[in-house]
Chain A
Amino acid sequence: MSLTHTLFALLHRDLLLAYRHRAQLTNPLLFFTIVVSLFPLALEPDPKLLTTIGPGVIWVAALLANMLSLEGMFRSDFDDGSLEQIALSPYPLSLLVLAKVAAHWLTTGLPLLFAAPLLALLLNLPSEAMGVLLLTLLLGTPTLSLIGAIGVALTIGLRGGGVLLSLLILPLYIPVLIFAASAVANSAAGFGITGQLAILGALLALALGLAPLAAAGALRISLN
């Protein structure tokens, strides 16, 4: 099999697995929605306040939803040994990891975009900010999945690695959070957003280039 063929086969397999276990698709989405709806209850449902905190709240919830779903990226493959078979393949492990990250993002990151408009309504975000929110999610969540892959690869062999994973990964998510939330807040206030979007794009490019290499290295250590 050629390299492209292998990558698509891997992607197809992961997507099919996710489709057969549909709870994997819906759970992060439900989590995302519930966390966001907790904030008006904890604070006060004042529309002005909600507009102010809305971008940050939605992005923090997206971050947490992404983090909770990370474990699924390699878990079942690690448990049944197919990850070792993947690592034995003649193709670069970093590219195979990239295919797995892509599948993970398509099944857990992309669906957040469908819930986001609803949440923007709940938090009283102006309609101009809605498009920007979707754009930042589109640019930002792949970066989160890529960085997250390194953390999962490092902790996959450990018992109770979940909390440890959040310790390792959340500080690294901060730049995405800052620029994404600020872009949404700026557009809600009517200011320019090209700078933030450009930096989100740059972060994505950087993560695309480096994260698969680090994750592949980490996987080889975990599989040792």
Chain B
Amino acid sequence: MWQWFHRLGSPQRFYRLAGTVSTALMVAAAILAAAGLYYGLVDSPADYQQGESVRIMYVHVPAAWMSMFIYMVVAASSLVVLVWRIKVADAFARASAPIGAWFTFLALVTGSLWGKPMWGTWWIWDARLTSELILLFIYFGYIALRNAIEEPETAARAAAILALVGVVNIPIIHYSVEWWNTLHQGATVTKFDKPSIHLSMLIPLLLMAFAFKFYYLAIALRRARSLVLEREKGSRWVREMFGGTA
């Protein structure tokens, strides 16, 4: 296990492996998304209260899950950066952050589109939307700090500290916002013993959630691959691979 971990940390191996894995994940994501969209948009019933607009859920909820999941990935990679100084982990964190920000943005936009027919307004200061908005600000801060520091080693470690500070704060912010305002309906899927969502809606939701997850991993690996390549551009394996003179 450790040896495998260590080998993955070598930029050269990571570059090779990430290319193959990324393609496989992309194919899986496309299949899952096609199935999820079919079941979600065509084969699942409309909600008895919300009508057809409930179908926004199949994009909105997975996007919101991803926004938090990706932040956790960034934080976990940051810990690896600070403890073991593995450069690949930093590339992965750096590649993930903008994707996380986009998923957060997507969750906000779809939430707003859903809110228009449901609440009659584009935006209300509801607890979950507000938490997502603050999460977006935190992503922006992380990306801004990375871009501001030119020296890659310093940027990696400074951003890692910020990501860990953020991960301590996100639950605090989430619960303070929740306490501040609880207008939203309660969580419906986290109760795994007896979900209050019907199976015909749960299946497309989970299909879409996995499609999003695989899509994220595929894109993050691809982006991390280019970042690794850029950072290692002086090394021998890169020159040999592209036929330059060593």
The residue that B148 contacts in the complex, of A161, A175, A210, A214, with Cβ under 8 A, is: A161
Q: Tell me if A170 and B137 are in contact (CB < 8 A).
A: yes
How far is B82's CA from A214's CA once the two chains are assembled, in angstroms?
12
Q: Tell me if A203 and B144 are in contact (CB < 8 A).
A: no
How far is B176's CA from A217's CA once the two chains are assembled, in angstroms?
27
Return chain A residues, CB-CB under 8 Å to B173: 171-172, 174-175
Q: Tell me if B176 and A172 are in contact (CB < 8 A).
A: no
Q: Tell me if A218 and B158 are in contact (CB < 8 A).
A: yes
Q: Cβ of B45 < 8 Å from any Cβ of A?
A: no
How far is B138's CA from A118's CA once the two chains are assembled, in angstroms?
34
The residue that A182 contacts in the complex, of B138, B148, B164, B180, with Cβ under 8 A, is: B180
Q: Tell me if B161 and A174 are in contact (CB < 8 A).
A: no
Task: Report the minimum CB–CB distance from A221 to chain B (whole Å).
Answer: 5
Which residues of A (149-194) have their CB < 8 Å from a CB of B? 150, 154-155, 157-158, 161, 164, 167-168, 170-172, 174-175, 178-179, 182
How far is B82's CA from A168's CA once the two chains are assembled, in angstroms?
19
How far is B157's CA from A214's CA once the two chains are assembled, in angstroms?
12
Which residues of B (148-192) have their CB < 8 Å from a CB of A? 148-149, 153-154, 157-158, 161-162, 164-166, 168-169, 172-173, 176-177, 179-180
Q: Cβ of A224 < 8 Å from any Cβ of B?
A: yes
Q: Tell me if A154 and B180 are in contact (CB < 8 A).
A: no
How far is B151's CA from A158's CA once the two chains are assembled, in angstroms?
11
Besides A158-B149, A221-B161, 7 more A-B contacts (Cβ < 8 Å) are: A154-B161, A168-B145, A168-B162, A171-B137, A174-B176, A182-B180, A224-B154
